[in-house]
Amino acid sequence: MTTDLSREVYLARSSRYANPRRGGDCLPWVYGDLTQGGQGGVWTCPCIDTENHVYCAAGHEILSLANGNSITVYDKDMQEIDGGGYTFDEASAYESQGVIATLTFSEDVSAVEPISLRGKGKNDGASLIDNPMDIVEDILNRAGLNSLEWDETSKTRATNYLAGLPLTAAGVIDRDFRPDRLTSEILSGMVSWWRGGEGTLLFHPHLAPGVLCNSDVAAHFKTSDFDPGQVTLDFNAGDICTRAAVNYAYNWAKGDFEEFEDGQAEAAADYEARYRAVMARSFDLPWIRTEIQVRLIQALIVGFYKSAPAILNASLKGLRAALLERGDIIGVSLRWFYDDNLDPLVNQMFRLISVTPDFDRNEVSIEALNTGACLVDENGTRDTNEYA
């Protein structure tokens, strides 16, 4: 049985404790390095014990000070509260209701609520969990995903890809959420994901044709496999992006983004000159905290979308493609089309968007996205041999 990732996940509430300020307050989930980006407290800490002035910093254990955490606490005016006025416990089994992170004040601070915090989130032993794929894995497992629903090969590959960029994520879940939407938000468009035919979750770098290799191709289709009258390569000018403007460093305590990057530094100036226009697009990246990482993402977006990605719609003769599924990489040869170098389009890698068999007509209709990659020979250049 597969887990429905569109069903809302409910966070634990302050009501599980004896004397909360408001029983309906959520105990937040916190991930990554939230000491970066913006100013002041990044998330709000609910009061779970009004008599002993105890606040929940996170609804789970977080990285300890000994292992590199840095905690700064703020009052309602975003003024820093002196560290001598509270104690921090990264792993407290408070009132035997499960392990959480707490702030305990030496006196009543209700007059300066809400109390907010800037620090680092959940840990794996002595290490901070900050790879976007590791965060997604932790959240989905906590949301009820079972181990058989993970495609371990694609998960590991996506994790290594993000680590190699390098790209980290940081954010807060302070309300009930849908896992499918949150997963896409955390991955920031860098990794595509979908559920495969066997019910497992598949992940693949979205904007990085360079990570594809010959062995990724699930099936090859020669020019003769296609009917020229049933083949189109469509380009949507609305998909072009020559510069990416980004809102980032979201502040969950303030409810807004705190940083903005206009995309000029990573713009494709040569393509803007060619188009005689700036094709700017705006992106909201709440789980990205630093300008360096924003610039990395901007460069990847512009590199992929500065020319409109081609969508292939075609009918394939026979039923060989019927066993393929969404997300599979196919090698396509269409010698009546040409690449940017005016060479015939041979062994181009496309990622399948849809596969529709027609058993009566003995053909399969496909829709596929051009990844920008192709099969290469031993010299690293396009392999011009067609394969069946």
Q: Pick from 49, 57, 96: which is nearest to 74 by CA?
A: 57
Residue 114 near residue 134 (C-beta atoms within 8 A): no
Q: What is the pLDDT of residue 236?
A: 82
Residue 192 near residue 209 (C-beta atoms within 8 A): no
Q: What is the pLDDT of residue 196?
A: 84
With a CB cutoff of 8 Å and minimum separation 6, the contacts of 320 are 219, 364
Which range has the worst mean pLDDT, 56-65, 332-341, 345-354?
332-341
SS3 category, 48: strand
Which range has the worst mean pLDDT, 20-24, 116-120, 210-214, 323-327?
210-214
List helix spans (H) across 283-361.
291-305
SS3 category, 321: helix
Which range has the worst mean pLDDT, 88-102, 198-212, 262-276?
198-212
Q: For 94-110, what is the mean pLDDT? A: 98
In the predicted structure, residue 372 carries a pLDDT above the cut 90? no
Q: What is the pLDDT of residue 341?
A: 80
Task: Read off the pLDDT band of 209 (50, 70, 90).
Answer: low
Cα–Cα distances in Å, from 348 out to 299, 315, 369, 385? 23, 17, 11, 11
Q: What is the pLDDT of residue 342?
A: 85
Residue 125 near residue 61 (C-beta atoms within 8 A): no
